[in-house]
């Protein structure tokens, strides 16, 4: 299914369709730019891996050489790099010349309670992750605040490999649900804005 085949004029033709098309175009441009330097396919980075990294850095060392950190965690260097990149994308860490350093935002996350972590993660995701920004904007524009996941999957798959598209969608689902941006009903394959009336059963 292509963007042209999707019916975007369900509720308010001008407003909703315009928001969704703008979201699609903005996401595609960002995704293409990011993929120019990331040709390899990777497994999704779940939020718990990011949380674990930040907890360890907060407890033991605010700045660490990546190779030493991988040894300390008994991890392969290649497995650690995507987690560091994810933490950096969210603004919880910064990396430079082989070193990774936890940021004040990362320390706040590591030291927060469960509800505090969810709030900080939501804020970071919506400030720094284009796909989650577009999902949140699109769901907010709909009168029922709900859309099929297939819409976003179709957008991502148009310009990325199948493996990379699946990775981005899986990551968005994991991060979006943890950050309480949306809920996901696996039976209907629909996303619903978190807190919207009539939320379906989350997966």
| pLDDT one digit per residue (tens) for the chain, 203 residues | 444 433 333 444 444 444 444 444 544 444 444 434 444 445 678 999 999 999 999 988 778 899 999 998 889 999 999 999 999 999 999 998 889 999 999 999 999 999 999 999 999 999 999 999 999 999 999 999 999 999 999 999 988 888 889 999 999 999 999 999 999 999 999 999 998 755 545 54
The number of domains in the chain is: 2
CATH number for position 51: 1.10.10.10
- The answer to whether residue 34 sits within a structural domain is yes
Same domain, 51 and 76: yes
Residues 6+ apart with CB under 8 A from 143: 11, 12, 16
Using CA atoms, how far apart are residues 78 and 88, in angstroms rounded to an integer? 16
Residues in the chain: 203
Domain end among 78, 111, 144? 111
- The answer to whether residue 7 sits within a structural domain is yes
- The answer to whether residue 158 sits within a structural domain is yes
Q: Could you give phi then psi for residue 39, rounded to 5 degrees?
A: -75, -15
- The answer to whether residue 200 sits within a structural domain is no
* Residue 99 host element (H or E): strand 99-102
Same domain, 26 and 51: no
Same domain, 188 and 147: yes
- The answer to whether residue 123 sits within a structural domain is no
Same domain, 33 and 56: no
Placement of tokens 């706040």 in the chain: 108
Same domain, 56 and 95: yes
Q: pTM, whole model, 2 decimals?
A: 0.75
Same domain, 103 and 153: no
Structural domain of 20: 3-39+129-193
């Amino acid at each position: 299914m292509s963007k042209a085949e999707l019916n975007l004029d369900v509720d308010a033709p001008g407003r909703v369709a315009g928001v969704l098309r703008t979201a699609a175009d903005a996401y595609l441009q960002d995704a293409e730019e990011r993929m120019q330097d990331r040709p390899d396919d990777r497994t999704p980075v779940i939020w718990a891996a990011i949380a674990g990294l930040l907890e360890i850095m907060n407890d033991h060392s605010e700045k660490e050489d990546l190779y030493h950190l991988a040894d300390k965690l008994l991890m392969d260097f290649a497995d650690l790099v995507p987690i560091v990149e994810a933490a950096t994308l969210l603004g919880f860490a910064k990396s430079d010349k082989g070193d990774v350093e936890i940021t004040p935002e990362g320390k706040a996350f590591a030291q927060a309670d469960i509800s505090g972590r969810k709030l900080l993660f939501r804020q970071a995701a919506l400030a720094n992750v284009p796909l989650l920004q577009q999902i949140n904007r699109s769901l907010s524009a709909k009168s029922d605040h709900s859309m099929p996941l297939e819409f976003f999957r179709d957008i991502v798959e148009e310009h990325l490999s199948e493996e990379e598209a699946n990775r981005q969608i899986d990551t968005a689902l994991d991060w979006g649900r943890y950050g309480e941006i949306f809920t996901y009903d696996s039976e209907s394959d629909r996303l619903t804005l978190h807190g919207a009336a009539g939320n379906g059963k989350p997966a």
